[in-house]
Structure 1
Amino acid sequence: MNNAVFRFAVPRNEETLSYAPGSVERIEIKAELDRQSSQKVEIPAIIGGREVRTGRLGKVVMPHDHGHVLANYHKSGQQEVAMAIESALKAKAEWSKFSWVDRASVMLKAAELISKKYRHIVNAATMLGQSKNAYQAEIDAACESADFLRFGAYAASYIYEWQPSSGGDCVNRVEYRPLEGFVFVVSPFNFTATALNLVASVVLMGNAVVWKPATTSLLSNYYLMKVFREAGVPDGVINFLPGKGSEISEVVLKHPNFAGLHFTGSTDTFTGLWGKIGQNLASYRNYPRIVGETGGKDFVLAHPSADVEELVTALVRGAFEYQGQKCSAASRAYVPQSLWGRVRELLVEWTEGLSMGDVRDFGNFVNAVIDESSFDKIMGYIERAKSSADAEILAGGFGDKSKGYFVRPTVIEVKDPHFVTMEEEIFGPVLSVYVYEDSAYEDVLRLCDETSPYALTGAVFAKDRDAIAKAYDTLRYAAGNFYINDKPTGAVVGQQPFGGARASGTNDKAGTHFNLMRWVSPRTIKENLLPPSHWSYPFLQSD
């Protein structure tokens, strides 16, 4: 038995490849895109290491070419959910006995597989199935996935090495037990890395999971499942269940051994799941851990001292990269009157100049939104702006879903800072701008803080340090990730721990020990080296 006290060192972030013309990675990813475009994958449920084909089929299509079917998947029902729970509980009994170093080593192998052998596979699947361009797929599916796995091992070291002090007559220690039961993982479509981390962080700490992936990211998530298995995660530790979320959760949340929920998705869905957990609370063996990252209505607030080109660059990238389908995307902006003329001119010019189309054309900055319901929702907000006297469309304002779900990047100037597109999450390429009088900067800071129920990300642009300090203080609870002179997207694992509060989630900071601590149940152990042999104390004796 290896009894060394071991600690994983601080890792380096995965290097981002450029995919520039003539580069090796550009040639290789294009070949992989061609390969995946020319085949139709069959995606089963995977329960206890066994592929389960229910015969109840659904389709995975390209959002930018929705007539092209990439895969057929087998929908899980109540029977498969029950099998998955049983499998998870059985596998967890053995997996939890592994040394944490061994579990972390499996995760590090998964990181190497994603970084090298599977890099172009998961990137291409993310591009085709989730309509991300090559750069957005690279920073997500390859780089952030590898970073989550490597920094997870490091963060686990941080947890496991802490122990309480011991007195002269006793030895005190803490055991970090996995949760008692199984964990339900519900992952979103927009980040492949998020799906991976929702599973990996729980499994790393010795737990077993029932995983419900988003239907619109099934292709990339299926390849992630292959990576986990090849890395050495034992059968049954991760159970992969494509299907309808409401049907799967109906079974999961009634089980007495339900121990936790790890979730990323809409605020409404998270609130609904939390409510159902509350209704079933008396039937659980333990109070479940609930960890969630949900929506955002993320802001960029400019002071009159801001640099115009830096500000507009942040607005265009922050609002329109990945079609605004990042929970951190810039969705509302507050711009001073003195800057608005130049900001408007440049913002409209750059937005109208953004190329849009198929991900396989590397010249496209913008691609399709994820599905028809998303397209219809986004266009609904745009139509409301068109018909309102309180809003003016400055750029974009139209869409086409005949072949792909394409929405033109849209900029709306609003007269009312409480106009619907300033307050409600749209999750698409729509940026609303409110122009304020320069003298009202401090009032606008308070307005920004009070406008939205969300508190995920936000940015302030200013050269004036006093203005920055005022924003920093006033907006203290308005964003879990706060940026100074930078766009509110693009948090890097190990550098900007990600998460927000209010209606944006539980702020447990994915990729850090804060999150990993939610998936263990510490047990304190005291050994008395010299136990007392009588009940009496000295103070009881007579003088």
Structure 2
Amino acid sequence: MVAPAIKPQTDARPYEAKTLSIATALLGATREKKNLFAQMRDQMRWDDKIMDFAMANPGLKVQLFRFIDALPALRSKPEIARHLQEYLSADEVELPNVLKGLLNFTDPDSAPGKLAATTVAPAVETLAYRYISGEKMDQAIKAIERMRKDKLTFTMDLLGEAVITEEEAQAYLQRYLDIMEQLSNAAKNWKTIDAIDVAEGKELSKVQVSVKLTAFYSQFDPLDEAGSRAGVSDSIRTLLRRAQELGVMVHFDMEQYKYKDLTLAILKDILIEDEFRQRDDVGVTLQAYLQDSYDDLKDLVIWAKDRGTPVSVRLVKGAYWDQETITARQNDWPSPVYSQKVSTDANFERMTRLLLENHEYLYAAIGSHNVRSQAYAMAIAEELKVPKRNIELQVLYGMADKLAKTLADQGYRVRVYTPFGELIPGMSYLIRRLLENTANSSFLRQNLEDTPVETLLAAPEFAPGDKEQGGRGDWEPPFPNAADTDYAIAVKRAEAFAALKAVRQQIGQRYSPIIDGEAVTTETFFDSVNPSNPKELIGKVGMASQEQAERAIAVAKAAFPAWAATPAKERADILRRAADIMEARRHELNAWMVLEVGKPLGQADPETSEAIDFCRFYADEMERLDAGYAYDYPGETNRYRYFPHGIGLVISPWNFPLAITTGMTVASLVAGNCTLMKPAENSSVIGAKIAEILYEAGIPKGVLQFMPAKGSTVGAYMVEHPDIHMITFTGSRAVGCRIYAEAAQLRPGQKHLKRVVAEMGGKNGIIIDESADLDQAVQGVVYSAFGYSGQKCSACSRVMVVESVYDTFVHRLVEATRSLQVGIAEAPGTTVGPVVDAAAQAKIKEYIEKGKQESTLALAMPAPDSGYFVGPTVFTDVAPDAVIAQEEIFGPVLAVIKVKDFEEAVQVANNTDYGLTGGLYSRTPSHIERVQHEFAVGNLYINRSITGAIVSRQPFGGFKMSGVGSKAGGPDYLLQFLEPRHVSENVQRQGFAPIEGVD
């Protein structure tokens, strides 16, 4: 079937004169007589002053909005006063005199402190309810009825950003079913108003609700397209059926970019089903700040023509610009949004024209507070004689009230987007509105500040090069990390799944040790199996013998002089080629990790990025270090340079079989050391792939020996060998300590002391204080504790929760964990896969039994019987010195410890032998400052998950019993693989020497 053609766009120029005429009239009717600042000074209301302060001082705005974000969690006046003082006393904040006076107290519990709290907290609440219609339905209904008196209709949005449990997803659906019924009952008493309730002789729905698709399913994830469809589709159908019974229109909001394509695909499929195909009381949203939104609208026009019944398209500019830009920069992705607001405005007009020129297929809902944007839509509508049913204009509640009334007076149906709900879940919405109102580029702000009319109403044009900048503008990262796969893009998902199928065709092969570039035969083999299905052989790996280890060391020793003499630039370029090969084989490498060590795709892909980053970062670092240092004096030159040790032994783990193995190996190699790579037995196939890539990149055969072997025998032999100069190890504490002790022994013929770099795990904790954002905290703890089944050395295994939020946190934590999907690693919906082998499974189960004896089992998730599975397990009421709170479990087991206050939380956090990673969720500046000095961990993460360190950005490594050595991916890591040497030369000859600058 050939898709119907889209009606070609007309030239925009004929609309311009009418647009300016309408916009000038609108502007005159909506402009205030006094400017904003004079108005605020006259009113002297604190809610107005807060906005005044925010617009006048960017540094103060940031701190004010952070305080406002924290305010709903604060439970007493002294707490409010303390946080107000902490936020606004920051060095970068320039305070107006009225705030200086308000904050002039030393004790938050004093009368002046309480006065400050009493002054500011109600002002923020008043400010919030400018943009939120009410906490209770009767308040919201009264607000709606006031709007209806002004001939304004509404769409109601239930506040609440994060649905992190299936319990909350079901509650979200039920609340909307209740809201629709309550509003429908109220609407029975509303007199019909032709301007908003009737169009073209047909009655319209008096009630409209706006819903978020992702709130119907807590595990909504583009990677799991089928599972996400199944998770939301029944709720959507239930909502639409009930809405039809009640005569309610349903509009589906658009959220973050990563959800856009899947959201549109799901809605298109449901709305074309026979049951819903004739419904025209349904709408979807498009965001003009997205660079591909125009194409999305064209696709919707084609789809709507085929459907045969129009749906509404709410066209907005978009509310997540900062978040989308930051997300893109953090992930090294092209930005999905236009980098310049003028480009968004231009795209909005382009989409407005396309939408209205196809009004018989899609109804237009033009959402903007920009007078020109609305005037442009009105001009087109009048020129094309668009029927009243086919267009409406929209504004946000509490913003542009005068514009809304003026538009209604022009005879247009005007709908007010009306948020409803409690302040805490609505805080994210409120902050977005405050940011919008105080942004320099905001039309509302420019209008209030008497920006010249010709500037306000100028036709927007796309900024030159906006798309080509990739969203970074003039920002460049210090180190360009490899970009993780964006699984929101359908073609990337298809490539990933195709790679899984291709790798499945390669499993079961034999892999041998490689010595001097040649595969060698072995007497013993290790069967590497799929932990999701142990009956499935991934590879049969030959285990090197002691004699073969002796030969490998001899080969490396012979190759060392030439490799050490190889210019650092050549060694670095080999690593860069290896990185390029890994990038080209990314999906394949991901697939091997999924199958051999049970790592779900979403966890495997960032590991491939990390391996690539290690290659490129260490290549750069070696070139930097190779330059050395010069300290010259008259008559004397001083040179400080680095040289390799000799032979390095790398003993790598199975939990990061690609990234850690690659990182340790290439660090040793690029420094000029010949290297023996011994992978963990149960990830030896992935080790073989790394060796294959390094050889292909150009590592000389004798320089790298691939040595799969039994650790307790041949591995120990290599550790003790006198010709080994350095051992780089990641693994268990017991093995690491044994290697450290053995390496300290001087063997016959040994002329050096061995270096040991050892990372030996952790018992990592996260503190949740009374001011924490519990949405963030629960999500961060769940991800940190159960990502890759808790088998990351950085995983959260203990969480210290202040008693005032303990019960609330624990309930949401348990329900969020219960919502996770346990299953085979290659299933796209799996969030918790298997543990690595039977021994790990048995050990974890022993700890769970111990936990049952010493604490309360709050949750034990069921797990499949077919593989090495352990369901996520949560213990509460755990004593700080309990076994499960002290010993590394290395599995999906979480201990929750109740503490009295933040002081006790820090003490408990530090009461283990380990010092690897830790975290804090808090919105208290003094707590954030204190943990940076007092939380004894190598990597501290604040208000984010504690796993997923990124090369260069977050160098990784700990101390105490977590390890010895510098941080992987950091500026001094390579120094461990090098010997510094200094050469001082007297350059005088017979009393003369060259002096710089003298002929």
Please report the TM-score for the alignment, with normalisation by the length of structure 2: 0.50
Q: CA deviation at 1:531?
A: 5.8
Contact 1:159 1:513 in 2 (8 A): no
2:816 aligns with one of 343, 350, 364: 350
Paired position in structure 2 for 1:409: 872
1:28 aligns with one of 489, 495, 513: 495
Paired position in structure 2 for 1:150: 616
What CA deviation, in whole Å up to 9, does each residue of 1:280-304 have, x standing for no partner?
Answer: 3575211111111111000101111
Q: CA deviation at 1:506?
A: 1.3
Q: CA deviation at 1:40?
A: 1.4
Task: In structure 1, give the amino acid aligned to 2:655.
Answer: N
Q: CA deviation at 1:237?
A: 1.0
Inter-partner Cα distance in structure 2 for 1:245 and 1:398 = 33
Inter-partner Cα distance in structure 2 for 1:108 and 1:472 = 35
Q: CA deviation at 1:139?
A: 0.2
Superposed, 1:20-59 pairs within 5 Å as 20=488, 23-38=490-505, 39-59=507-527
Superposed, 1:27-176 pairs within 5 Å as 27-38=494-505, 39-116=507-584, 118-140=585-607, 142-176=608-642
Paired position in structure 1 for 2:388: none
Q: CA deviation at 1:30?
A: 1.8
Q: CA deviation at 1:381?
A: 0.7
- How many residues of Structure 1 are paired with residues of Structure 2 in the alignment? 513
Task: In structure 1, give the amino acid aligned to 2:979.
Answer: S
Paired position in structure 2 for 1:186: 651
Paired position in structure 1 for 2:882: 419
Superposed, 1:501-512 pairs within 5 Å as 501-512=959-970
Please say which of residues 48-57 and 158-167 is displaced more in the overlay: 158-167
Q: CA deviation at 1:488?
A: 1.2
Contact 2:823 2:863 in 1 (8 A): no
Q: CA deviation at 1:29?
A: 2.4
Task: In structure 2, give the amino acid aligned to 1:43.
Answer: Y
Inter-partner Cα distance in structure 2 for 1:415 and 1:524 = 55
Superposed, 1:366-405 pairs within 5 Å as 366-386=832-852, 388=853, 390-396=854-860, 399=863, 402-405=865-868
1:465 aligns with 2:925: yes
Inter-partner Cα distance in structure 1 for 2:748 and 2:958 = 29
SS at match of 1:85: helix
Paired position in structure 1 for 2:975: 517
Please say which of residues 50-59 and 202-211 is displaced more in the overlay: 50-59
Q: CA deviation at 1:512?
A: 2.5
Runs of 5+ consecutive residues of structure 2 not aligned to the other structure: 1-476, 992-999
Inter-partner Cα distance in structure 2 for 1:513 and 1:77 = 37
Inter-partner Cα distance in structure 2 for 1:106 and 1:96 = 14
Q: CA deviation at 1:35?
A: 2.6
1:227 aligns with one of 683, 693, 700: 693
1:203 aligns with 2:676: no
Q: CA deviation at 1:279?
A: 2.5
Distance 1:507 1:457, change over 3 A: farther
What CA deviation, in whole Å up to 9, does each residue of 1:476-523 have, x standing for no partner?
Answer: xx2000111112111111101100000001141112231101111122
Inter-partner Cα distance in structure 2 for 1:415 and 1:183 = 43
Please say which of residues 158-167 and 209-218 is displaced more in the overlay: 158-167
Paired position in structure 1 for 2:896: 433
Paired position in structure 1 for 2:182: none
Distance 1:70 1:494, change over 3 A: same
1:239 aligns with one of 702, 705, 710: 705
Contact 1:379 1:398 in 2 (8 A): no
Contact 2:784 2:945 in 1 (8 A): yes
Task: Kindly report structure 1 stretches of 4+ aligned residues shifted beyond 6 Å.
Answer: none
Inter-partner Cα distance in structure 2 for 1:218 and 1:10 = 34
Paired position in structure 1 for 2:266: none
Inter-partner Cα distance in structure 1 for 2:685 and 2:907 = 43
Paired position in structure 2 for 1:3: none
Paired position in structure 1 for 2:737: 271
Inter-partner Cα distance in structure 2 for 1:456 and 1:380 = 24
Please report the TM-score for the alignment, with normalisation by the length of structure 1: 0.91
Distance 1:441 1:75, change over 3 A: same
Q: CA deviation at 1:157?
A: 2.9
Kindly indicate which of the two structures has a greater share of residues assigned to strand. 1
SS at match of 2:947: coil
Kindly indicate which of the two structures has a greater share of residues assigned to helix. 2
**What is the root-mean-square deviation of aligned Cα atoms in Å?**
1.7
Inter-partner Cα distance in structure 1 for 2:912 and 2:781 = 19
Q: CA deviation at 1:399?
A: 4.9
Inter-partner Cα distance in structure 1 for 2:933 and 2:981 = 39
2:912 aligns with one of 437, 441, 452: 452
Superposed, 1:470-489 pairs within 5 Å as 470-475=930-935, 478-489=936-947
Inter-partner Cα distance in structure 2 for 1:10 and 1:160 = 20
Task: In structure 2, give the amino acid aligned to 1:329.
Answer: A
Paired position in structure 1 for 2:422: none
1:341 aligns with one of 793, 797, 807: 807
Paired position in structure 1 for 2:791: 325
SS at match of 2:744: helix
Over alpha carbons, which structure has the higher Rg?
2
Please say which of residues 101-110 and 252-261 is displaced more in the overlay: 252-261
Inter-partner Cα distance in structure 2 for 1:112 and 1:406 = 35
Distance 1:398 1:424, change over 3 A: farther
Paired position in structure 2 for 1:312: 778
Name the % identity.
Answer: 32
Q: CA deviation at 1:189?
A: 0.3
Please say which of residues 412-421 and 317-326 is displaced more in the overlay: 412-421
Q: CA deviation at 1:25?
A: 2.7
Task: In structure 2, give the amino acid aligned to 1:120.
Answer: H
Contact 1:11 1:150 in 2 (8 A): no
What CA deviation, in whole Å up to 9, does each residue of 1:210-247 have, x standing for no partner?
Answer: 11100111121111111000000000211111120121
Q: CA deviation at 1:162?
A: 3.4
SS at match of 1:343: helix
Contact 2:965 2:976 in 1 (8 A): no
Q: CA deviation at 1:266?
A: 0.7
Inter-partner Cα distance in structure 1 for 2:747 and 2:769 = 48
Please say which of residues 408-417 and 323-332 is displaced more in the overlay: 408-417
Q: Which has the higher contact order (CA 8 A, sep 6+)?
A: 1
